[in-house]
Amino acid sequence: MSNILVNYIQNPLGWEVAVMIINRPEQLNALNLETITEMNYVLSLLSNKKNIRALIITGAGDKSFIAGADIGELKDLDVSGAYELSKEGSRVFSKLAILPFPVIAAVNGYALGGGLELALACDIRLASEQATFSLPEAALGVSPGWGGTQRLARLVGTGHAAELMYGANQINAEKGLAIGLVNSVHAPEKLLDAAIKLANRIGKNGPIAIKAIKAAMNLGIQTNLQEGLKIETGQFSVLFDTKDAKAGLNAFSNKEKYEYTGE
């Protein structure tokens, strides 16, 4: 049985929304090295598909998004093995973060440790009312190793991030919403539909423009304001050499509708 399942939702105009499912429900979808390796392969395939406008990631079953890394693989690591595991997980999550289309995490249950770190590598996080979030590594005598210390602080601020990581405590979806960890909270049976609706709304817009916005935002936030503005100017200007920009602007001026082609 594959640890990663991918379904495609076809839009009548030909573009698609991909849905990636972490498929280890008996292990609460915990991430072992095999699953990380499989995810890396799937992300490579998705990044090369020209007609994908958004990716949704969720977990199999109704209990867990991803309940962290597989503890069975962690407990016998030495320094060298821990370094390699951290480097590989960080590499794959960074690959997820720079996909050329938006990624939506549909957090349907436990998002613990590596599961929360994966959600943090996504652009947008929607949560089920039964979702819980935690980076509990300190309670195990270790620290987050797949981007948690970096992405969480950038998203919610160092105060909230420190409380979560130092205390190793869990928070529910409403608390996650209050601190800016998640964008919205939904009834469990409506979560995936909400994610698909959002993905379709995004997909109707210019895909090259979305790619430029994502690049400008994610690169700019890593630098100072002035450098970020230069990045934005560069991304903005190159769009004017695309068919979509010319046609989209003309359609707006003429009060017409234009279906973006990604050209």
Q: Long-range contact list for 193-199, CB < 8 A, 24+ apart?
A: 194/106, 194/126, 195/56, 195/58, 195/104, 195/106, 195/126, 196/9, 196/17, 196/19, 196/56, 198/54, 198/104, 198/124, 198/126, 199/9, 199/17, 199/53, 199/54, 199/55, 199/56, 199/102, 199/104
3-state secondary structure at position 130: coil
CATH number of 207-253: 1.10.12
- Residues designated as active site: 117, 137
Identify the pLDDT of residue 1. Answer: 59
Count the residues in the chain: 263
State pLDDT tens for residues 206-260: 999 999 999 999 999 999 999 999 999 999 999 999 999 998 999 888 888 888 9
CA 151 to chain centroid: 11
Of the CATH numbers 1.10.10.10, 3.30.420.40, 2.40.50.140, 3.90.226.10, which one belongs to the domain with range 4-203? 3.90.226.10
Report the predicted TM-score, pTM, of the whole model to 2 decimal places: 0.95
Identify the pLDDT of residue 10. Answer: 94
Say if residue 120's pLDDT is above 70: yes
Residue 208 burial class via C-beta count within 10 angstroms: exposed 0-12, middle 13-18, buried 19 and up:
buried
Identify the pLDDT of residue 70. Answer: 78
Strand 4-10 with 16-22, pairing: antiparallel
Say if residue 83's pLDDT is above 80: yes
Say if residue 262's pLDDT is above 90: no
- Structural domain spans, the chain: 4-203, 207-253
Closest CA to 1 of 18, 26, 17, 9: 26
State pLDDT tens for residues 4-32: 999 999 999 899 999 999 999 999 999 99
Say if residue 187's pLDDT is above 80: yes
